[in-house]
């Protein structure tokens, strides 16, 4: 049975400061909103530099380079991937071009950090991971949530890591929701999020987060998935959905005084772009529960409620807070951020730099295997909702 949770989720146990990392030179594909936020967050890491950016239009790349004082810019992506100064490419363009843009970077011998979703199909995901392995390059899906200190703390508590001050016991349930009201910032129907040919739809755009929240806390691959949701009849994209996943037992003896097999559990997930939900993830075990508080995909707060014996009996409550780094003058001058808590990209970028510095080809916080499990589940969502796979029109 595939294991989706590595033995320890930290990339370097000797690290005390999550922003500590060796130098790395970044190039960018796409000069849109998320690339802006990522570049701004890198300004929290003095050892990291964006040395080149590229956009479909030279004007777009030039304006971006001027705004962020980036020394080289390119119209079109192929010139940038051949820039000898670039060590890793951050890919922040739209979903439909994942296979071609990631492939272009790997063939130019660049490491890759690619925004979620990693690919539009399992087949593309497997191909790209295989190609990275063949060329001995680092590659990771930008599931930045996994790198926030609040999430790393939650994961260590769930794993019963040494030195943790709380334990939830055997995990039985994970609840995770992420829904935002897209028309607030995405024009309907012209934005890519409503365009299936560009990889639009909530399954590709939003579902990766609750899926990654669920697979983080169970050690087996789900053996059943039930999906409901709505598809927009005019654009053909899925607007929202909910899914229930069953995770089978991971083996081991059933405890003498409890009915559940170890590792067996259920995840209840909800995602979408039709309304704004509370957006949190709650993990429930035999001894208590913990909540990765809103905004759960980029959190700063974790609450643990340990149970006392008996129904409704509350034991200890523990609260952990990890404030975002404060914006520097350079960040404010370049216009702040487009998306909530984007400062937190610095945690992901620092971990990637540490992994590459240590010669790793994947990050233990979000492995290739997990990316592929989650892509399989995204395909399941599309199939059960009757949404056409991207690129089949």
Ligand X SMILES: O=C1OC[C@@H](O)[C@H](O)[C@H]1O
**How many Å apart are CA 194 and CA 29, to the nearest integer?**
22
Near ligand NDP in 326-345, by CB under 6 A:
339
Smaller CB distance to ligand X: residue 186 or 327?
186
Tokens of residue 332, six digits: 């404010």
Near ligand X in 297-316, by CB under 6 A:
297
Q: Which residue is nearest to ligand X (CB)?
A: 339
Smaller CB distance to ligand X: residue 145 or 305?
145
Smaller CB distance to ligand X: residue 114 or 168?
114
Smaller CB distance to ligand NDP: residue 116 or 354?
116
Element containing residue 78 per DSSP (H, E): helix 78-81
* Closest CB 297 distance from ligand X, rounded Å: 6
Question: How many of the chain's residues bind ligand X (CB under 6 A)?
Answer: 5
The most distant pair of C-alpha atoms in the chain lies apart, rounded to whole Å, by 68
In the set 97, 127, 322, 339, which binds ligand X (CB under 6 A)? 339
* Closest CB 70 distance from ligand X, rounded Å: 23
Question: Which of 170, 253, 173, 168 lies closest to 213, judged by CA?
Answer: 173
Q: Which residue is nearest to ligand NDP (CB)?
A: 32
One-character DSSP codes across 316-380: EEEEEE-PPPPPPHHHHHTT--SSTTGGGHHHHHHHHHHHHHTT-SSBTTB-HHHHHHHHHHHHH
Question: How many of the chain's residues bind ligand NDP (CB under 6 A)?
Answer: 20
30 binds ligand NDP (CB under 6 A): yes
Specify the stretch interacting with ligand NDP by CB under 6 A; choose among 89-97, 221-229, 255-263, 301-309.
89-97
One-character DSSP codes across 114-154: EESSS-SSHHHHHHHHHHHHHTT--EEEE-GGGGSHHHHHH
In the set 12, 20, 25, 33, which binds ligand NDP (CB under 6 A)? 33
* Closest CB 10 distance from ligand X, rounded Å: 23
Question: Is residue 186 helix, strand or coil?
Answer: coil
In the set 32, 60, 248, 340, which binds ligand X (CB under 6 A)? 340
Per the rule left: phi > 0, alpha: psi between -120 and 50, beta: everything else, 140 is beta
Residues that bind ligand NDP (CB under 6 A): 30-34, 55-56, 60, 92-95, 115-116, 142, 144, 192, 198, 205, 339
């Amino acid at each position: 049975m595939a294991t989706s949770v590595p033995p320890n989720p930290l990339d370097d146990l000797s690290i005390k400061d999550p922003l500590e990392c060796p130098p790395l030179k970044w190039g960018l594909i796409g000069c849109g909103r998320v690339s802006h936020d990522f570049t701004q967050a890198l300004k929290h890491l003095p050892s990291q530099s964006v040395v080149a950016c590229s956009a479909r239009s030279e004007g777009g790349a030039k304006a971006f380079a001027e705004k962020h004082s980036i020394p080289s810019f390119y119209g079109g992506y192929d010139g940038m991937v051949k820039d000898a100064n670039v060590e890793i490419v951050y890919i922040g363009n739209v979903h439909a071009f994942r296979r071609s843009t990631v492939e272009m970077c790997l063939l130019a011998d660049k490491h890759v950090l690619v925004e979620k979703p990693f690919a539009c199909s399992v087949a593309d995901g497997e191909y790209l991971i295989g190609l990275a392995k063949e060329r001995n390059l680092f590659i990771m899906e930008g599931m930045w949530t996994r790198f926030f200190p609040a999430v790393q703390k939650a994961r260590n508590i769930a794993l019963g890591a040494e030195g943790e001050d709380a334990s939830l016991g055997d995990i039985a349930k994970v609840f995770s929701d992420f829904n935002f009201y897209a028309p607030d910032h995405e024009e309907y129907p012209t934005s890519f999020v409503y365009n299936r040919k560009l990889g639009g739809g909530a399954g590709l755009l939003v579902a990766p987060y609750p899926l990654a929240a669920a697979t983080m806390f169970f050690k087996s691959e789900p053996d059943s998935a039930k999906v409901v949701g709505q598809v927009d009849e005019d654009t053909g994209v899925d607007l929202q959905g909910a899914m229930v996943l069953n995770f089978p037992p991971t083996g081991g003896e059933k405890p003498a005084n409890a009915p559940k097999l170890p590792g067996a559990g259920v995840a209840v997930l909800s995602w979408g772009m039709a309304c704004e939900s509370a957006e949190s993830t709650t993990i429930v075990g035999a001894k208590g529960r913990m909540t990765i508080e809103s905004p759960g995909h980029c959190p700063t707060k974790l609450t643990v409620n340990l149970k006392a014996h008996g129904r409704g009996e509350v034991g200890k409550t523990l609260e952990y807070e990890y404030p975002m780094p404060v914006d520097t003058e350079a960040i404010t001058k370049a216009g702040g951020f487009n998306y909530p808590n984007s400062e937190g990209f610095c945690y992901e970028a620092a971990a990637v730099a540490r992994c590459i510095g240590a010669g790793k080809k994947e990050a233990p916080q979000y492995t290739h295997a997990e990316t592929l499990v989650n892509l399989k589940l995204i395909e399941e969502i599309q199939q059960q909702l009757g949404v056409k796979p991207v690129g089949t029109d």
